[in-house]
Structure 1
Amino acid sequence: MDNITVVRIFTLSGLNETMNYKVTIFSFTLLYFCVILFVNISVIVIIISDENLHQPMYILLCIFCINGLYGTSGFYPKFLLDLLSSSPEISYAGCLLQAFVMYSFACCDLSILAVMAYDRYLAICRPLHYHSVMNKTRLSQLVCFSWLTPFCIFSINVLLTSRLKLCDSKIQKLFCVNWIIVKLACPDSDTISNNVMSYATIIIYVCHGFFIIWTYMHMVRTCVKSKDDRVKFMQTCVPHLTSLTTFLSAILFDLMHMRFGSKDLPQNLQNFIAIEFLLIPPLMNPLIYGLKLAKIRNRILGIKHKLEQKMTYHT
């Protein structure tokens, strides 16, 4: 393979069919990204500034929103720059970094959802032990777990990918994905370790999913017996279930399409499938929790009322 050249730049070809609408897409994307930043930062600031919200459920929601900012910041700024470019490109190092951010963001989300499910399980199924089990130390350990585990796993994934010889530099997506980079490897490259690590990662996070299902089975069984528990379940678990369902649907669509999907699908549809987990959950999650959780909703209404009073006073 003497004719192999070192790949230093990747070409992102996902925007090829949107050349005539780039200005429109840029405007809507910038507005959408600003809204995502606003709603997530608002929830984070409300939780941090109100001592009444310094409880495990709300702290986990705060971490959830921070992770949403982390993931979307790894995609939208680069995507906006690509819309202004005639030939979207990304450096080799930048591509690996973006792949790391995208994967770690997605898996951090699932880890945080698993921790939130555990928190709700304790609150509903073991209320007498809740405060002794979900103390500050345990909460800190769970938050560290939800962040460090994906970071460690995908650091290994990216390191394994970085050692491969690549025979192509064209990525058929809007952003870099580790599995797509692996598929660009030359035929003589050893990708066995990449495949093993990839399937090991899938197994780890499928176990997260089974753990969440297990906790909800216990919660539903407990809530059937008590009206108060049913009310608590509807108030605090419905937002969590909505977030979980939306996130898993988006991720599964993308994974199934990336590994088994047809390349004959229109590019615009492929793009939507690819970025669905960056479009819906980061905006929907803070809105759902902000509207459904009474303490956050009351805090938002209180701020709104104060602003209206100030405006009335000045006028």
Structure 2
Amino acid sequence: MDVELNVTLLTLGGFAELHKYRYLYFVIIFTLYILILCFNSTIVYLIWTCKNLHEPMYIFIAALLINSVLYSMIIYPKLLSDVLSEKQTISYPLCLFQGFSYYTSAGSEFLLLAAMAYDRYVSICKPLQYPVIMNRITIYVCVILVWLIPAFEIAVSFVLYSNVKLCSFTLTGIFCNNSFYRLQCVPSVVISVYGVVMLINVAFLPMLFILFSYIRILRISYSCCRETRRKALKTCLPHLLVLISFSCLSCYDVVIARVESDFPKTARLIMTLQLALYHPLFNPFVYGLKMKNFLNT
């Protein structure tokens, strides 16, 4: 068999007992995919059509939910196809493109949460300057940059990956993520170092900025009256819940692919599915409740 064909074709080996539960997998994944599209799109539509929701915070929420839809569209169509296929394979260039899109979306999530934290910080700590700082131009620039910055940084990473020599052609996951790091014949020092730098830029630094912003918010709000503290906690809690949820899943995604371990295949599948299934549904649930309270006031 031609070696070049082997190099460009990868097997997705992360499915457990697929031959037994093929149709059950398909029904569950397809149902959740439809729910993700419907829930996220509905809230985005409400924000778009309700003029009293045309505020910076809700524009960022809409961007976050659009990001969840894009995040799901990157994974689900191929995942549903693989569940019904006899062989779960993907070409290496398509795998790189899926990974590029997946991590661009993940990086955008952290930066959007950082933008939302800054919006809350200005709103609570500098209320008189809020209309000037968080004007329409600032919001649009932020929304554009949160997608462009991760796209540029991750594009460099996948240009590096496109030139590596592969000695293994089976991914441990069910879609293309960090698991293709272990396909290299010789791990690239350049890719490893750049991966750490990129992780710091698109995840670690935004998380530090978010935590710093919320610490400042809590310090200032607790020096005010009880009503101010209650409003500050109410507006910050949903963002913190989403941040904690996404950070934990992202840590798993990074660590499990880079660390050699005999992690059970079924447990790996369940954790990987949470990345694709749980989080895109968690966002509209959390922010949907917040919007319900806002619309009822």
- The offset of 1:295, in angstroms, is 5.8
- Kindly provide the amino acid, as one letter, of the partner of residue 73 in structure 1: M
Correspondence 1:208 to 2:206: yes
Aligned pair count?
A: 293
Contact 2:13–2:172 (8 Å) recurs in 1? yes
Rounded Cα–Cα distance in structure 2 between residues aligned with 1:97 and 1:296: 39
Task: Report if the CA contact (8 A) 2:16-2:266 is conserved.
Answer: no
Amino acid at match of 2:233: M
Maintained 8 Å contact 1:118/1:215:
yes
Check conservation: 1:11, 1:90, Cα contact below 8 A. Answer: yes
Segments of 4+ moved more than 4 angstroms: 294-297
Per mean C-alpha deviation after superposition, the further-off stretch among 148-157 and 17-26 is 17-26
Aligned twin of 2:188 = 191
- Report matched runs for 1:1-315 at 5 Å: 5=4, 7-177=7-177, 179-187=178-186, 191-204=188-201, 205-226=203-224, 227-260=226-259, 262-263=261-262, 265-294=263-292, 297-298=295-296
Tell me the SS of whatever aligns to 1:127: coil
* C-alpha separation in 2, matches of 1:191 and 1:40: 39
Offset of residue 212 of structure 1: 0.7
* Aligned residues of 1:124 and 1:232 also touching (Cα < 8 A): no
Aligned counterparts of 1:225 and 1:47: Cα–Cα separation in 2: 33
**Cα deviation, residue 118, structure 1:** 0.5
- 8 Å CA contact 2:71, 2:102 repeated in 1: yes
Gaps of 5+ in 2: none
Q: How far apart are 1:16 and its partner, in Å?
A: 4.4
Q: Is the Cα contact below 8 Å between 1:14 and 1:174 reproduced in 2? A: yes
**Deviation at residue 191 of structure 1 after TM alignment:** 1.5
Instruction: Provide the C-alpha distance between the structure 1 equivalents of 2:294 and 2:48, rounded to a whole number of angstroms.
Output: 11
Contact 1:96 1:158 (C-alpha < 8 Å) held by counterparts = yes
Comparing 241-250 with 225-234, which one deviates more in the overlay?
A: 225-234
Two-structure CA RMSD over aligned residues (Å): 1.8
2:115 partner amino acid? V
Contact kept? 1:46, 1:296, Cα under 8 Å: no
SS for the counterpart of 2:129 is helix
Cα drift, residue 296 of structure 1: 5.4
Identical residues among aligned pairs (%): 32
Q: Secondary structure at the match of 2:168?
A: coil
Letter in 1 for 2:81: L
